[in-house]
Chain A
Amino acid sequence: MKNVTITINGAEQQAQVEPRLLLVHYLREVAGLTGTHIGCETSLCGACTVLMDGRAVKSCTVLAVQADGHKIGTVEGLANGGQLHAIQEGFWEEHGLQCGFCTPGMLMCSHDLLAQHPSPTDSEIREAINGNLCRCTGYEHIVNAVKSAARKMTKRVSARAA
């Protein structure tokens, strides 16, 4: 067993884990955060996408011990108090989800994209979410959702700057 200290959504947590424990299992079973989903466990579907130090990673491909000393962001940490994040609003308003299973991964992946490219084109969005599979939506409403989020975030940034 190994000791790990991981900061999840701003709160530092310590735990003893098996060295082979996957980060996604740590989040779901140890930290009790089940918003991060498992769709394949083999790095192919993106349902488990979280942020590690701000960048999107597939948490089924990261060991909990590799996250030791790092900051992890999950879907549960997106909303600020009761206030939804612009990306969440975008998905809600543009009907970017149906069964919702791929959604947490899509949100976190989009979060990474918009941090790097605040106003991506349709094809940049499609490229960015390429590693995240959705069987329900056909992706078009997801693309709309990310665009809507981008607009909101840009507006908020310029409002703050003004």
Chain B
Amino acid sequence: MAQNGKPTSKSNGKSNGTRNGDAAPWVGRKLKRKEDPRLIQGISHYTDDLKLPRMLHCVLVRSPYAHAEVGAIRTDAARAVHGVVGVFTAEDVSSIGMVPCAIQMPDLKVPKHPVLATERVRYVGEPVAVVVAEDLYAARDAAELVEVDYEPLHVITNMEKALGNETSYVHEEFRSNKAFTHALKNGDIAAAFKKADRVVKQRMINQRLAPIAMETRAVLAEYLPGEKRLTVWNSTQIPHLLRTQISVMLGLPETAVRVIAPEVGGGFGSKLNVYAEDGIVPWLAMKLGRPVRWSETRRENFASTIHGRDTINDVELAVKKDGTVLGLRVRILADLGAYHQLLTPLIPQLTALMLAGCYKFPAIDIEIQGVFTNKMSTDAYRGAGRPEATYIVERIMDIAAHELNIDSAEFRLKNFPQSKEFPFNTVTGLTYDSAKYQESLKKALQLAGYDALRRRQKNGLKQGKYYGVGVSTYVEICAIGPSAATPAGGWESATVRIEPTGKVTLLTGASPHGQGEETTFAQLIADQLGIDPDDVNVVHGDTLAVPYGIGTFGSRATAVGGTAAYLATQKLKAKLATLAAHLLGAKPGDITIGRRVLTAKGSKKSIPFREVVMAAYTARSIPAGFEPGLEATHFFEPSNFTFPFGAHIASVEVDPETGEVKLEKYVAVDDCGNVLNPLLVDGQIQGGIAQGIGQAMWEELIYNEEGQLVTGTLMDYALPKAHFLPNFTLDRTVTPSPVNPMGVKGVGEAGTIASTPCMVNAVCDALASLGIRHIEMPLKPERVWQAISHAQAAPREPEPLLVGALAASAARKNAQKPARRRT
């Protein structure tokens, strides 16, 4: 990690855990994190903590309208504020390149996306001007005095209206609000639906969410004209990709730009992007010849940092009366917002890829339309397309189980591929690496006390108690990814350097933001070299120190970045063996690396690790052709994705009087392959579950018809709080991935993917006896209560159809009609 240009070791020098004898590896232990001492003492530095001499502050002026012509902009009053150094509008910054989108598709419409709005604004929060001042308060005062003339235009917020009867457009030049179409079809879908005893249909909405990293975005830039060097400190997940994009936006040679990601306070995908401010702030520093810092307010973070999800899904499942699934048809409308950010159009395509879930669908038929609206862009938010897919699959499976009157766990077990079928080719064209879905679900059922929960549910009904049991399995696509399947390279780099004293430096391209790679990567290298994790300093997030890297997202850091580190270390082990053999008069093949010592097999001869290392640097006694020094770099290109999986079970009670949901028990059995540090894996799972439950129960970004964001503060947008949640019961199965030598899969998003459908399944299960089959998220008490009252007001209907020949033929007829009791 480097700050202010200097790489600094952040270890507090204390021993970090003790080793139980020589044999026990570091990998697999619950080691305390190396990064924590600086974080718990408040002495680490996030971007907004950095201050440079003569530093200026800037504030963006943003559109209060969702769609409007921009007229005159008057800046005189703002300029007159004491301490203001400059006010800039679109004309001034016209040399800055567009905000980039990395996705290419045959029919993709890519609108121009200037860093400051030119003639039109297209969402509330779009930047129109920037004010720079000596201090933050002056900049804020002045920003309020910038007067902009707006001529409001028709606002488009509803996707279906945007596509139907189009008369107004988010982007006039396209004469359409459709940004792209994407289809994925495989197998004989017509035959599947023809053969079906029942077609289960449901429309389900995946609402818009805000990622809300607790640290908002921040940028600090400094330009040294003599050295011709632009240094940008940026709270980003992707320092190298950002450097490339900044150099393009500003027309600088890439070698003149250095990006440093200091401490980064969470990202969840929102910092896997390139924003207008990432170009504007460095431009200001160059223009004004002084360092400039910008920190986003939380309000701006809601309005102008990417959002997640926001899809309308029409789902149809073809199923036989014995519970065998035959085919899945899904039509998706994806609300992209007004512009494409870096990966915007990619996310719904990831949903399509993962729509086979953990099941053996013989046929699939997916069509997606991406739609422009007058809102902030959607893009990668924790899970990025996979939570949407899992929600669709796991909800429709549950609804089908209820319709067929089959136990929802049984129904799933019936449709899983067997573990001997792996690697398993899915109907969506993926090859799942390894899995034991049955084992994982059975373990979860047992941990949850499933049968007892079902008995309680039955008995509860007699006493007017509404207990629900939600089951959700999931498979996710991680270790993103093979380069062929990713827009900007799917590999990762690592350089491992054993320093002359025997200490080790790892430079990793996978720049973390809370994942703890300084610890886990040190663990894995320590085992390979027979040293301690405290001997390994992990450096990341500085483009001048680290070879080009891709970054941390898509649960890829360990599986791709960790593997790169592992493979670079293997190169050094070979070199150490060659040199030790030379020094001991043995064959390199006979050298083993033990704890701080290298030994020649078959003889008693050994040499301390540090002596071999020093010999590589003094280079006085090296074999012919031996390259001095001990540094190795590996760029690891994975051969496939990895596919972690698991099963989650939630037990809830719904109060029919108030609609309140009480989460009583939450069981998660996850399989992320081999585990480097169980403590950190649990942390990832718990945080993910909380976020997924947040979507199911409380979180929702609402734009009203005027395109105003009405849940744009932490007051209105309900993030999970501590007392909303119980402790979770976690367990795992371990199915190593064959895709990388460490057998790891990735765990960053698992919890978020499984927990959302799990909760909704639980609540709908609790209310199934009232004839409720689906409630749209978030399941706030008000919404649940309304569903209950509607159901109670509706005339009672017969019990769900029982499986049988007669029922099946009735089902075929019914399948064509919308469900009458849909809420």
Contacts and interface: CB of A to CB of B under 8 A. Distances in A.
Contacts of B48: 34, 38
Q: For this complex, into which size category does the number of interface residues on chain B fall?
A: 35 or more
Interface stretch (B444-452, B575-583, B685-693): B685-693
Contacts of A33: 42
Contacts of B713: 40, 42, 44
A67 interface: no
Contact of B37 (A34, A92, A126, A137): A92
Contacts of B216: 39
A102 B214 contact: yes
Contact of A84 (B40, B46, B135, B515): B40
Contacts, number: 174
Contact of A98 (B40, B295, B516): B516
A34 B683 contact: no
A128 to B, nearest CB: 8
Contacts of B268: 135
B722 interface: yes
A140 interface: yes
A122 B727 CA distance: 9
A161 B163 CA distance: 75
Interface stretch (B247-255, B258-266, B702-710, B807-815): B258-266
A129 B724 CA distance: 11
User: Do most interface residues of chain B lie in helix, strand or loop, or is the interface mixed?
Assistant: loop
Given A75-B41, A75-B42, A40 B714 contact: yes
Given A34-B45, A133-B721, A141 B215 contact: no
Interface in A35-51: 35-42, 44-45, 47
B49 interface: yes
A25 interface: yes
B234 to A, nearest CB: 15
A97 interface: yes
B714 A42 contact: yes
A42 B36 CA distance: 27
Contacts of A36: 42
Contact of B214 (A35, A133, A143): A133
A6 interface: no
Contacts of B684: 98
Nearest to B211: A135
Given A39-B214, A44-B715, A95 B40 contact: no
A44 to B, nearest CB: 4
A28 B51 CA distance: 10
Given A35-B42, A140-B728, A125 B514 contact: no
A93 interface: yes
Nearest to B684: A98
Given A35-B42, A41-B298, A92-B36, A99 B264 contact: yes
B350 interface: no
Interface string B667-699: 000000000000110111011111100000000
Contact of B722 (A40, A44, A93, A139): A139
A140 B213 contact: no
A76 interface: yes
A19 to B, nearest CB: 11
A150 interface: no
A130 B723 contact: yes
Interface in A117-150: 122-123, 125-127, 129-130, 132-143
B184 interface: no
A81 B273 CA distance: 41
B215 A126 contact: no
Contacts of A40: 298, 713-714
Most chain A C-beta atoms within 10 Å of own C-beta, residue among B42, B513, B689: B42
A156 interface: no
B212 interface: yes
B318 interface: no
A7 to B, nearest CB: 18
Interface string B30-71: 001101110111111110110100000000000000000000
B626 interface: no
B46 A92 contact: no
A137 B687 contact: yes
A38 B514 CA distance: 17
Contacts of B263: 99-100
Interface in A14-33: 18, 20-21, 25, 28-29, 33
Contact of A135 (B298, B689, B691, B722): B691
Contact of A137 (B39, B213, B215, B686): B686
B517 to A, nearest CB: 11
A130 B42 CA distance: 21
Given A38-B48, A134-B214, A138-B688, A79 B721 contact: no
B41 A47 contact: no
Contacts of B722: 125-127, 129-130, 132, 134, 139, 142-143
B297 interface: yes
A95 B33 contact: yes
Contact of B725 (A76, A92, A136, A138): A138
Nearest to B678: A95
Given A39-B214, A95-B682, 11 more contacts: A20-B137, A35-B42, A39-B216, A40-B714, A92-B40, A100-B40, A100-B263, A123-B723, A133-B719, A136-B214, A142-B722
Interface of A: 18, 20-21, 25, 28-29, 33-42, 44-45, 47, 74-76, 78-79, 84, 88, 91-93, 95, 97-104, 107, 122-123, 125-127, 129-130, 132-143
22 contacts: A21-B137, A29-B135, A37-B215, A39-B216, A40-B298, A41-B297, A42-B298, A45-B214, A76-B41, A78-B42, A88-B41, A95-B683, A100-B263, A101-B46, A102-B214, A130-B722, A135-B266, A136-B214, A138-B687, A138-B688, A138-B725, A140-B728
| 10 tightest Cβ-Cβ pairs between the two chains A and B | A35-B42, A99-B514, A101-B265, A100-B39, A138-B690, A75-B42, A34-B49, A138-B686, A98-B514, A44-B714
